[in-house]
Amino acid sequence: MLLYFLIRADKPEQRAAFEKYMKLGGAWIGFHFAAFALTPSDFPQNWDWYYHEMLGSGEYKGNTWKPTSAILRVEDMKHSATKNLPATFKASPNEWYSWKNDLRKNPDIKVLISIDPSSFPLGTGPKLWEIWHDGDYPVVWTNTKYRMLYMNMGHNDIDYDGGTNKELSFTFANPVQNKLVIDALMWLGKKQ
């Protein structure tokens, strides 16, 4: 089974090939920036099939800052990617994203994990809008029309303030998150 890793397809032929691959039953897993799109920016949302149909998230809306841990809640304990996880767990520090589209209103999207309300307030700023005090924030989901799974995890805490840019945390130093990744890959790698 071929598992597709996509950095960012900007050429029409790359996009057409990836869409065809997914529509023919190909498997894909995306982390953090794989869902980022913001117009205007260097990464505009100019690929409707990918951002609206497959991911379901649409454009990036906002984020928490600085990268910080959150308590995550598993919403589907029966899915192959999440069935071996505890009901809640502490995630590695991350920059958590929010989206313009409400994933829960899309009948094809199955939210598997979201930020637990016990995490609020989440983020430290310095900008006030980078600190979340409430809300619904899915962080892992699948689209039932495709063999895909997206995880918002992937932005380590980095020493930006001290100017060293040294990594202060590691996404894959978390055994629970690693179990999620391994089980997701195992699920995506199985023949249909």
The whole-angstrom separation of Cα 159 and Cα 138 is: 27
Query: What proportion of the chain, given as a percentage, has pLDDT over 70?
Result: 96
> Using one digit for the tens of pLDDT, what is the confidence trace for 94-127?
999 999 999 999 999 999 999 999 999 999 989 9
pLDDT at 192: 64
How is the chain split into domains, by residue range? 26-35+43-189
Q: Which two tokens stand for residue 90?
A: 């502490």
**Average pLDDT value for residue range 68-88:** 97
Share the mean pLDDT of the chain.
92
For the domain 26-35+43-189, what is the CATH superfamily, name and number? Class I glutamine amidotransferase (GATase) domain (3.40.50.880)
> Using one digit for the tens of pLDDT, what is the confidence trace for 20-69?
999 999 999 999 989 999 999 998 999 999 999 999 999 999 999 989 99
CB 109 within 8 A of CB 141: yes
Q: Give the list of residues 6+ apart from residue 31 with CB closer than 8 angstroms, or none.
A: 150, 151, 152, 153, 154, 171
Q: Give the list of residues 6+ apart from residue 33 with CB closer than 8 angstroms, or none.
A: 154, 155
The whole-angstrom separation of Cα 48 and Cα 127 is: 30
Q: Within 13 Å, how many C-alpha atoms sit on residue 149's CB side?
A: 21
